[in-house]
Each structure stands twice: as C-alpha cells, then as structure tokens.
Amino acid sequence: MQSKQQEPSSQLTEALRMLFKQWKAWFKNKMKTRDDDFDWSFDMVLVWARYLTKKEITQSEFNRASELSFDQDWVPSNAKEFLALVRTQQTSEYPSAQEAFDNACCQCGLIEDQYVKRKWAHAVVLETANRIGWGKLKNANEYFLKTFTSVYEQVISEHQNGATFVIPESHQVEYSHTVLQPDSPMAAKVDDFLNRFKRKHGEAV
C-alpha cells in the first residue's frame, strides 16, 4: 500500500504565487508563452509546489533560489530548474551534509596536540562544529547526522547571505636553527669548553 503523498504547505504555495507575480513585473515579455494563461496561473503554482515538496526543498533553499532567479537572463521554465539554482551551487561550493559530518567528526576526534594540523573541508564545516561542540562530534555516530545537517544548512544559508567564516592558520611550532656567530659571548664559552676538553685528553690546542 502506497503512502499518501505529502501535500504542499500553504506557506509554500503562497510564496510561489508571490514569486510568480514578482517575476512577471521583472521579466515582463520574457515570460510570455503560448499557454500563458496556464503557465503562471495558480494551477501552475500547485504543480511547482508539489514538485518542490517532493524534493523536500528547505526554507533557506527557496529563499536563496528566489534571489538567484532575478540574476538570470530568463525565468526558470519549471520547478526543477528553479531548485537547480541553489542545489547545483551548493554541490559545487559546499561539501554534502554527509561529507561535512564525516570531516567534522574526524577532525574533532584528533588528539589535542600543537603539532596536529586539522584539515577542514570548508569553513562552514568548522563553524558547524563550533556551534554543535567538538566533544559531541568526537563521539557522534550516524544517528547524529540529522541534527548536524540542520545546523549545517543554517550555517550555509548564513554564509550564502554574506556571513564570513574562516579557518584560522595552524599554530604549529616550527623548528629553527640559529647559526652561532663567532663574536658572540656563547661562542667564546664554547671555545673555552673545547680547549679545556682537549687539554684534559692530551690533545694539542
């Protein structure tokens, strides 16, 4: 027995109705089609809403896709193209939720050592780890992925809207070798020690 298909929310259908109205004002003649009476009517709003609901579009994805749509030369011809505006971009710029989760758990699990250099997949992954807590991610299992994803999507949304997250430079201690200068006080002490060592062992100074 098939489960009942989830119906679009009234918030989504209203948001789409308003978006179509804004597109008509922005794109004008570019939205004219042979079936214009149907293409941008409320019936088409429902078609889009059902598709986006099935694809589980998030509020942040809808908002971002809406913003990006106004930078396009043409209005998205269907809901699939609309969703691709944000999901294609996320795929290229950000790690998937699973990849980010695996990376965060791995880096948070490293021992606390000044010589360990953590390798974060993206600054948004580090920011997500900071918000959740390294201790939680250090011992997290796959059941924690849903919680991680919720915070991760929020961080991505903030980053897309202009927030800045950075990965600080590693504070590793580097080895440096300082050459002993002939006229330094330490050089005189070293020479004195070597002379005494040679006299003790009968070597010519």
Domain boundaries, the chain: 10-93, 95-199
- In angstroms, the CA 132 to CA 124 distance is 12
Q: What tens digit of pLDDT does each residue of 77-103 get?
A: 899 999 988 887 655 678 888 889 999
To the nearest 10 degrees (0 to 180), the angle between helices 10-27 and 42-54 is: 120
Task: State what percent of residues in the chain have pLDDT above 90.
Answer: 36
Q: What is the pTM of this model?
A: 0.45
Q: How many residues does the chain have?
A: 205
The rounded distance, in Å, linking the Cα atoms of 90 and 163 is 16
pLDDT band at 191 (very low <50, low <70, confident <90, very high): low
Residues 148-165: what's their mean pLDDT? Answer: 90
Q: Tell me the helices (H) and strands (E) count for the chain, helix number first.
A: 10, 0
Q: Which residue has the tokens 């010519």?
A: 204
Sequence-ordered alpha helix ranges (H) in the chain: 10-27, 36-39, 42-54, 59-69, 79-93, 97-108, 123-132, 134-138, 145-160, 185-200
**Segment (H or E) for 117:** none
What band does 66 get if pLDDT is binned at 50, 70 and 90?
A: very high
| pLDDT band with cut points at 50, 70 and 90 for residue 6 | confident
CA distances to 52, 62, 86 from 10, in Å = 13, 14, 22
pLDDT reported for residue 152: 93
Higher pLDDT, 42 or 199: 42
